Amino acid sequence: MKIAAPMKRKLDGVLLLDKSAGLSSNTALQKAKRLYRAEKTGHTGTLDPFATGLLPLCFGEATKFSQFLLDADKKYLAIVKLGVRTSSGDPEGDVIAQRPVNVTEADVLAALPGFLGEIEQMPPMYSALKHAGRPLYEYARKGIEIERKVRRVMVHAIEVESFSGDICHLRVHSGKGFYVRALADDLGELLGCGAHLHALRRTGVGPFQIEQARTLEDLWDLDEPQRDACLLPADILAQSLPQLHLDIEAAWQICHGQAIWLPRLSVGQQFRLYAPDTRFLGVGEVDHEGKVAPKRLVVT
């Protein structure tokens, strides 16, 4: 007897997932999608399978605003193992070099300021960056090296949480596009002993912290209403934007794709738009005529 698959449902919101080690971001997303019976899902930036921590997932209309978290700052707890370089810069790669470690915590502290502020970083081959439509890691697994350009990235803070022998725990606060595995490799070369990223836990994405997140195991133990209560509203993804509350006429115009004029606006400004009944309508942007035009709207 064939058992029918659970019926999918339209579900809007943001799930702050604490991803466990061993799962790809897409596998975690698909598991959450099945658990919630959601029609449409998406994530806001990947975590490597060996990494754990905060992975915000978007359901339904929230997927339209995932870019706000793709561009957001990230926070990490990184464990760097000195003395060993790997082909991927992390524990999943092959060991390609081993050197003695004659490094003190003071040496690490002296090296870290060179990685602060706006710096140039070479993206690693084992990354999801695309070349000719394929992620770089696919080439790397076949032993193919692709020429890459250095990128300018922002690092707000790096702190040594603990140091013992060849293990260094770092707390990192970075901007978008930063690779912690590249930091570990570059730091090891600067210290003269080599290093790789032994473990990684993402503790923050934009305004969200790991303490707010739930694991898949936690969610399995809840019934459906309790799980749904774990979802945050879609507009929380755009909470960095100022709010604009519209009257009935302006809300109607926006929902029908029309721009509205408001005084004292600057071209390029973006707003969260709300109807008179406080419903979130989407995001608007001031166009070259000084009008607020709909940029991304939810289906109401």
Q: Residues 91-109: pLDDT tens digits?
A: 988 999 999 999 999 999 9
User: Would you state the structure tokens that stand for residue 140, as one six-digit string?
Assistant: 């790397």
Q: What is the mean pLDDT of residues 267-292?
A: 95
- Candidates 201, 197, 166; CA nearest to 183 is 197
Q: Is residue 1 part of a domain?
A: no
Given 205, 226, 249, the domain boundary residue is 205
Q: Is residue 4 part of a domain?
A: no
Q: Is residue 8 part of a domain?
A: no
Q: Are 131 and 188 within one domain?
A: yes
Q: Is residue 133 part of a domain?
A: yes
Q: Is 152 helix (H, G, I), strand (E, B) or coil?
A: strand
- What percent of the chain stands above pLDDT 90? 79
Report how many domains make up the chain: 3
Residues 53-89 as b/e (b if ≥16 CB within 10 A, e otherwise) read bbbbbbbbbbbbbbebbeebbbbbbbbbbbbbbbbbb
Q: Are 78 and 179 within one domain?
A: yes
pLDDT at 40 over 70: yes
pLDDT band at 10 (very low <50, low <70, confident <90, very high): very high
Q: Are 27 and 85 within one domain?
A: no
Query: Average model confidence (pLDDT) for the chain?
Result: 92
> Exactly one of 48, 90, 186, 235 is catalytic; which is it?
48
pLDDT at 300 over 80: no
pLDDT for residue 127? 67
Contact predicate 103/193, CB 8 Å = yes
pLDDT for residue 218? 96
Annotation says 48 is catalytic:
yes
pLDDT for residue 1? 46
Q: Is residue 6 part of a domain?
A: no
**Host domain of residue 255:** 241-297
Q: Are 81 and 201 within one domain?
A: yes
Q: Is residue 49 part of a domain?
A: yes
User: Please, is 145 exposed, middle or buried when counting C-beta atoms within 10 Å of its C-beta (0-12, 13-18, 19+)?
Assistant: exposed
pLDDT digits (tens, 9 = 90+) for 179-226: 999 999 999 999 999 999 999 999 999 999 999 999 999 999 999 999
pLDDT at 147 over 90: no
Q: Are 78 and 66 within one domain?
A: no
Q: Are 228 and 177 within one domain?
A: no
- pTM value > 0.85: yes
Q: Are 28 and 117 within one domain?
A: no
pLDDT at 4 over 70: no
pLDDT at 2 over 60: no
Q: Are 54 and 90 within one domain?
A: no
Q: Is residue 104 part of a domain?
A: yes
Q: Are 101 and 139 within one domain?
A: yes
Distance CA 236, CA 243 (A): 12
Q: Is residue 2 part of a domain?
A: no
pLDDT digits (tens, 9 = 90+) for 121-138: 987 767 667 777 777 677
